[in-house]
Structure 1
Amino acid sequence: MSAAIETRDLTLRVNGETVGPLPVPVGTSLLDFLHEWLGLTGSRMGCGQGICHACTVMVEEEAGPREMRSCITGAHWFEGRSVRTVEGHAHTAPDGSLVLSPVQTAFIENFAFQCGYCTPGFVTGASVLVERLKRTPVRRDEVERVVTEALDPHICRCTGYVRYHQAVRDLVLATPGLTTA
């Protein structure tokens, strides 16, 4: 006799769209839910222990977005919440063309990736930082520290850190309203 897998309905917003209610097995990680139920494979399984941050997604909260590691956080924790995956950073223009986010554009302009496996996590981390700075700008002389703090949890096995940091630093310094004198 086999035991039935316990499921619970899950409803959340992903990249601006309501998803669910869907019966999802209890204990399913958000990363597995995104990959297997929604076909959103941009967030990556890196270490599977929440250390590398390749799996991060943005959780929209009243105080602003924050990063969450989707490989170690159960999908049901996100019940009723709004999540943005790396696929949700770009948008489609009225003419049908793809418009990259400022972070994605900065990464391309700085060739801020090598193999690209960790890039979704870095895009998410940098995007959370930019959103935070829109609400609470920092002094220009604090940009280096703030960028380092935001990107330090992210691991790049190809050692592309210099270009990731430079891209985010350049973006923050060039975007009006993110810094003060």
Structure 2
Amino acid sequence: MSMISVTINNKLYGPLDVDPEVKMTDFLHEFLNLTGTKFGCGQGVCQACTIIVDNEDGTSDTVRTCITNAVVFHGKKLRTIEGHATTNQAGEIIALHPVQEAFVTNFSFQCGWCTSGFTNKTVALIEKLKRNPIPKDQVQQVIEAELKDHICRCTGYVKYYKAVKELILATEGATV
């Protein structure tokens, strides 16, 4: 067993005694009852299980949790789908994150299984573009490069990509 502590959505969890073989998706679901991160393929291919890891330098990375053991995240600061919306003191959602709002407005998903992965990857992309804006004529190319590995079995990708493009173009500082 290994002791781990991790900050998820600005809340510290741990130290907790965890089997070193436990995958992060299982840790989120079974230990913390954070079930928004979806287990899809179990091989790291579909990207439904993607979460955000915030680095000390202010950048972030996205990581697939179905193939990464929970102990890898010891001492790290993470964001899951549960952490994006604004909530009141009672924990009730009072406002969606702009990425979530764009996906809802554009009817981007049907079953929603892939949505947490798409949302986390897009949140990280928007933050990256605010640090390093791109020319407007490169937006579609960047979206395709960033989201190409995410699999959606219901809707295809047109509505996701459309929502992300609209959001990037509407986000101050994301394009030049």
- Pick aligned residue for 1:64 from 41, 49, 59: 59
Higher alpha-carbon Rg = 1
Residues 1:90 and 2:68 aligned together: no
- CA shift at 1:160, angstroms? 2.9
Aligned position for 2:26: 32
* Corresponding residue number in structure 1 for 2:74: 79
Question: In the TM superposition, what is the alpha-carbon distance from 1:98 to its structure 2 partner?
Answer: 2.1
- CA-to-aligned-CA distance 1:66-105 (integer Å, 9 cap, x gap): 1100000010100100010011111214695521100000
- SS of equivalent to 2:142: helix
1:134 aligns with 2:113: no
Decide whether the 8 Å contact of 2:129 with 2:175 is kept in 1: yes
Aligned to 2:45: 51
What residue is the counterpart of 2:4 in the other structure?
10
TM-score normalised per structure 2: 0.95
Amino acid at match of 2:154: C
Q: Could you tell me whether the CA contact under 8 Å between 1:91 and 1:99 is conserved in 2?
A: yes
**In 1, Cα distance between equivalents of 2:12 and 2:140:** 37
Percent same amino acid at aligned positions?
Answer: 47
Equivalent AA in structure 1 for residue 74 of structure 2: E
| Aligned mates of 1:110, 1:118 — CA distance in 2 | 15
| Partners of 1:12 and 1:82 within 8 A in 2 | yes
Corresponding residue for residue 121 of structure 1: 117
* Matched length: 174
- Aligned residue in 2 for 1:4: none
Corresponding residue for 2:173?
177
Q: In structure 1, what is the equivalent of residue 155 of structure 2?
A: 159
Contact 1:53/1:153 (<8 A) preserved: yes
Deviation at residue 63 of structure 1 after TM alignment:
5.0
* Matched position secondary structure for 1:107: helix
